[in-house]
Chains A and B, each alone.
Chain A
Amino acid sequence: MINPDSVGRTFDSADLVTVTQSEIDAFAVVIGETDTRVAPPTFSIRITLSQFESILTQPEIGVDWQRLVHGDQKFEIYRPVIAGDIFKCSATIETLRSVAGNEIISVRSDLHNGSELVVSSWATLVVRG
């Protein structure tokens, strides 16, 4: 059971994440993208998913990552991610509900480079009961 008090809370990452060209290149090569001047549209999941994992698996929230299924994903890309971006990640647990024995969590992530919001993304994560 996930702690219902976590709804509405925003968690800021402890560390800044620097995007490297080699990370962009490695992601691009998998999908056959040869232009790596900017990151592919879904690249930022590399940053946000690991952040969600570190937040949601904290004992005070209590998600079992092994039982987690990705339900949906949305990105709003205000400008493309590029090598050298230094991101502060803020993740907010927006809603939590129980459906047919599964717990469904909606999380939002904002990636800021300094004061500039670069990407917002939303994920629905399903913890199978």
Chain B
Amino acid sequence: MIEVGTILPTKVFYLDRGLLKAYADASGDQNPIHQSEEFALSVGLPNVIAHGMLTMALVGKFITDWAGGSANVKEFSARFIKPVIVPAGEKIDLTVTATVVEIDGAKIKLDCAATSAGVKVLGMAKAVIIQ
């Protein structure tokens, strides 16, 4: 039974440099801050960071699975509040959950939560799906 307040089961994704490279190729976003440690450091970042849109795409996958397919996702928004730092050779978690906040006929609104190493990385992450 889905009702307002229902919390979706948490899912953990793992990000590594290989995934960042794959996302760069798939999305066309080849900004070197997502691939080159030397470049990232040169612009004042602590290390290579994941594309905000990669974290959003993974949260999108989480929503899609619950919604029963990509076709059921009608609105999706997020604010990129903290970068996900991805050092070489490491697998970094992206832990995702969501809460049902409104049900309006076939429309369900979700508030999503995405953290990495316990730190919130997306703010105001919201989705509207159709049942």
Contacts and interface: CB of A to CB of B under 8 A. Distances in A.
Interface of A: 23, 26-27, 29-33, 35, 37-42, 45-46, 49-50, 66, 69-78, 80, 122
B29 to A, nearest CB: 6
Given A26-B26, A45-B53, A49-B27, A70 B80 contact: yes
Interface stretch (B2-10, B63-71, B104-112): B63-71
Contacts of B74: 76-78
Nearest to B77: A74
Interface of B: 13, 19, 22-23, 25-29, 43, 52-54, 56-58, 60-61, 63-64, 69-71, 73-80, 124
A73 B26 CA distance: 18
Contacts of A50: 28
Given A35-B70, A70-B53, A40 B61 contact: yes
A6 to B, nearest CB: 22
Nearest to B59: A42
A126 to B, nearest CB: 10
A49 B34 CA distance: 15
